Amino acid sequence: MKIAFLSSEAYPYVKTGGLADVSHSLPRALADSGHEVFLFLPRYYSVDRDRYGLRQAGGPLGVPMGNGEKWAAIYQTRHIAEITTCFIEHDAYFGRDGLYDDGYHAYGDNAERFIFFTRAAIHAMKDLGFAPDIVHCNDWQTALAPVYLKTLYGNDPFYARTATLLTVHNAGYQGVFPGEMFSLTGLPPEVFTVEGLEFYGRMNFLKGGLAAADAVTTVSPTHARELQSEEFGYDLAGVFRNISRRLYGILNAIDHEKWDPALDPVIPARYSARDTAGKSRCKSALQKKMGVTVDPRAPLLGAITRVTYQKGMDVLADTLTHMMSDDDFQFIILGAGDEGIIRRFEALKKMFPRRVGLYWGFDEELAHWIEAGLDIYLMPSRYEPCGLNQMYSLRYGAVPVVRATGGLEDTVTQWDPSAGRGNGFTFGELTGEELYNTLRWVLRAYRDRGQWARLMENAMAFDYRWKDAVAEYEKVYGLIAKNPSRVLS
């Protein structure tokens, strides 16, 4: 199949979160399975043309915007092996340091920026002569693609065989903008209805994409069910229920070439499930690097995360404050986010300076060191559509402790010491009491070295690869490619 994969970010070009990792690994895995894949991205200021070998393709691209037209350039590269990456360049929209915000506030023209990008990508396919069987778009930034293909381009013979799939990575971000911005889309007025983009008088990109796409996927089977509930549906639960027959949960995978402690080139020592000796060396190196006491006996807990309410970091900070006076363990964190929650962790470090290590920001190499050096990985998310770090942690033998939600529930199974089964620890409600009780249980299990060795062995046996996820996507592609709809539903 010919697959056009639209995303607002992709590793290694530009990354703010897990979407970038998926937008790198899934297109590669699709190409490895024999599909022809074009990846479409904005050419942000930070994407260096020379570094990635970008070459201009086609002529200047005229993109309708509102009652006028704006111009873009198309650049291509094969920097990611086996796929063609196409960048849409327009300096007024993408020649900025940030992707979606300036570090403090969302850009005021985000609606216009991603209307332009999505429509430019559709025009670029035609300009390049790439008639896709599938347009696979991701999250609100590209969710208008199915709407365009079923309205303004619904009778274009170039797209007559094109079906659309929208992947929802995080329904908490929907692309909601003032209704008066609808005119920028150039879409017919009948699209701005309660069945389409209209959302309490505003325009909702994600809602429109859900209505228009031939299939909708989200990033774990459990989250596909959760989205249909009021708790997790973010005011769109009814919409998700309405499309339940074309809603699929496909678990994200991880790049086993990049995340494998037996091959990882950046960690202090390599190790495997058969020979874990290197993990203790990684732990000592990490303790030293993060400024905590180098002590092989102290349980080392940690997280790599956005420091936000969604990730449960407020509850974690308070729980650790209560626990560290009573139990001799260490904690480290790599991340950025809510200043109020960060201050709670800063206060914790002042109380226990040699037992707490903090790094605010992001460092790819340090992330690998943390996965390799931790004994216990903490992920107490209020919701987690899929999650990748719990899967990295399983591979690296950093036993995950997670709230049973979304992809966390689908990948982490409760440890049963009597049967020797399970690969981590799960808990239900995110309260300080439940997290406290779970962590006390985890620390008791850690001090039983025989039990912990079996648990680590179970964790490191986790083996879900992108080729497994591709097989699931291919099933959905096959269903919608047979009979792509030409109308909004």
CATH number at residue 92: 3.40.50.2000
The predicted-structure confidence for 286-297, as pLDDT tens digits, reads as follows 999 999 999 999
Q: Which domain holds residue 440?
A: 277-463
User: Are 391 and 254 contacting, i.e. CB atoms less than 8 angstroms apart?
Assistant: yes
Residue 249 shares a structural domain with residue 282: no
Contact partners, residue 135, CB within 8 Å, separation at least 6: 4, 6, 122, 145, 146, 149, 162, 163, 164, 165
Q: What does the pLDDT read at residue 484?
A: 74
The predicted-structure confidence for 206-252, as pLDDT tens digits, reads as follows 999 999 999 999 999 999 999 999 989 989 999 999 999 999 999 99
Q: What does the pLDDT read at residue 102?
A: 87
Across the range 468-486, mean pLDDT stands at: 90
Residue 230 shares a structural domain with residue 302: no
- Cα separation of 251 and 218, whole Å? 8
Q: What whole-number percentage of the chain has pLDDT above 70?
A: 99
Residue 446 shares a structural domain with residue 474: no
Q: Determine, yes or no, domain membership for 86.
A: yes
Beta carbons within 10 angstroms of residue 360's beta carbon: 14
Q: Determine, yes or no, domain membership for 146.
A: yes
- Cα separation of 102 and 450, whole Å? 50
Residue 374 shares a structural domain with residue 290: yes
Q: Determine, yes or no, domain membership for 108.
A: yes
Q: Determine, yes or no, domain membership for 13.
A: yes
Closest CA to 210 of 223, 222, 196, 220: 196
Across the range 110-120, mean pLDDT stands at: 98
Q: What does the pLDDT read at residue 482?
A: 81
Q: Determine, yes or no, domain membership for 258.
A: no
Residue 116 shares a structural domain with residue 199: yes
The predicted-structure confidence for 392-439, as pLDDT tens digits, reads as follows 999 999 999 999 999 999 999 999 999 999 999 999 999 999 999 999
Q: Determine, yes or no, domain membership for 261.
A: no
Residue 137 shares a structural domain with residue 76: yes
Contact partners, residue 418, CB within 8 Å, separation at least 6: none
Q: What does the pLDDT read at residue 103?
A: 81
Q: Residue 430: what are its φ and ψ, rounded to 5°? A: -85, 85
The predicted-structure confidence for 348-370, as pLDDT tens digits, reads as follows 999 999 999 999 998 989 999 99
Q: In this model, does residue 257 exceed pLDDT 90? A: no
Q: What does the pLDDT read at residue 417?
A: 95
Q: Determine, yes or no, domain membership for 477.
A: yes
Ordered alpha helix ranges (H), 447-465: 449-460
Closest CA to 383 of 138, 219, 244: 219
pTM over 0.75: yes
Q: What does the pLDDT read at residue 488?
A: 59
Residue 443 shares a structural domain with residue 472: no
Number of separate domains in the chain: 2
Residue 457 shares a structural domain with residue 475: no
Residue 237 shares a structural domain with residue 169: yes
- Cα separation of 80 and 286, whole Å? 31
- Cα separation of 163 and 146, whole Å? 8
Greater pLDDT, 484 or 25: 25
Q: What does the pLDDT read at residue 10?
A: 96
Residue 357 shares a structural domain with residue 413: yes
Residue 397 shares a structural domain with residue 285: yes
Ordered alpha helix ranges (H), 78-138: 91-94, 110-127
Residue 138 shares a structural domain with residue 282: no
pLDDT-derived band of residue 485, with 50, 70 and 90 as boundaries?
low
Q: Determine, yes or no, domain membership for 486.
A: no
